[in-house]
A and B are shown apart, each in its own frame.
Chain A
Amino acid sequence: MPEPLLSVRDLVVEFPTRRGVLRAIDKVSFDIAEGEVLGMVGESGAGKSITGAAIIGLIEPPGRIAGGEIRLKGERIDSLSPETMRRVRGRRIGMVFQDPLTSLNPLYTVAQQLIETIRTHLDVSDKEARARAVALLDRVGIPAAARRIDDYPHHFSGGMRQRVVIALALCAEPELVIADEPTTALDVSVQAQIIDVLKEICAERGASVMLITHDMGVIAETADRVAVLYAGRLAEIGPVRDVIQAAEHPYTQGLMGSIPTLAQEHDRLVQIPGSMPRLNAIPPGCAFNPRCEQAFERCFRDRPEPLPRGGGRQVACWLYDRAGVAHG
Chain B
Amino acid sequence: MLAFIIRRLFQSVIVMLAVALVSFSLFRFVGDPIVSMVGQEATLAEREALREALGLNDPFVVQFWNFIARAVQGDFGISYRLQQPVMELILSRLPATLELALISGFFAFVLGVGFGVYTALRRRGWLSNAIMTASLIGVSLPTFLIGVLLIWVFAVELQWLPSFGRGETVRLNDWWTTGFLTPSGRASLVLPAITLGLYQMTLIMRLVRAEMLEVLRTDYIKFARARGLTNRAVHFGHALKNTMVPVITITGLQLGSIIAFAIITETVFQWPGVGALFIRSVQAVDVPVMAAYLMLIALIFVIINLIVDLLYYVVDPRLRVGRAHMRH
Contact = CB atoms under 8 A, between A and B. Distances in A.
Interface of A: 56, 58, 86-91, 94-95, 97, 99, 102-109, 116-117, 120-121, 143, 148, 151-152, 154-157, 159-160, 165, 168-169, 172
B315 interface: yes
B317 A106 contact: yes
A258 to B, nearest CB: 30
B123 to A, nearest CB: 10
A87 B227 CA distance: 9
B229 interface: yes
Instruction: Classify chain B: how many residues form its interface, as a range.
Output: 20 to 34
Name, among A105, A143, A165, the residue most crowded by chain B CB atoms within 10 Å (CB to CB).
A105
Contacts of B122: none
B241 interface: yes
A135 B254 CA distance: 47
B226 A116 contact: no
A89 B224 CA distance: 10
21 contacts: A58-B222, A86-B228, A87-B228, A89-B225, A90-B229, A94-B227, A97-B222, A97-B226, A102-B218, A104-B220, A105-B220, A106-B317, A107-B242, A107-B245, A116-B233, A117-B227, A120-B229, A152-B317, A155-B327, A160-B328, A172-B227
Given A99-B219, A102-B220, A151-B325, A116 B237 contact: yes
A148 to B, nearest CB: 8
B236 interface: no
Contacts of B222: 58, 97
A102 B219 contact: yes
A91 B227 CA distance: 8
Contacts, number: 90
A165 B228 contact: no
A169 B227 CA distance: 7
Contact of B228 (A97, A99, A121, A143): A121
A157 B326 CA distance: 10
Contacts of A117: 227-229
Interface of B: 218-220, 222-231, 233, 237-238, 241-242, 245, 315-318, 323, 325, 327-328
B195 to A, nearest CB: 36
Given A90-B226, A90-B227, A159-B328, A103 B318 contact: no
A121 B318 CA distance: 29
Contacts of B317: 106-107, 109, 152, 154
Contact of B233 (A58, A120, A148, A165): A120
Nearest to B323: A155
A99 B220 CA distance: 10
Q: Give 3 closest A-B pairs by Cβ, nearest first.
A: A90-B228, A89-B228, A102-B219
Contacts of A159: 328
B228 A120 contact: yes
A44 B305 CA distance: 46
Contacts of A154: 317-318
A107 B221 CA distance: 12
Nearest to A143: B328
A120 B226 contact: no
A120 B325 CA distance: 30
Contacts of B228: 86-91, 117, 120-121, 172
Contacts of A86: 228-231
Contact of B316 (A58, A103, A107, A148): A107
A106 B221 CA distance: 11
A90 B327 CA distance: 29
B223 A120 contact: no
A41 B316 CA distance: 39
B225 A58 contact: yes
Contacts of B238: 105, 108
Contacts of A165: 223
Contacts of A106: 220, 242, 316-318
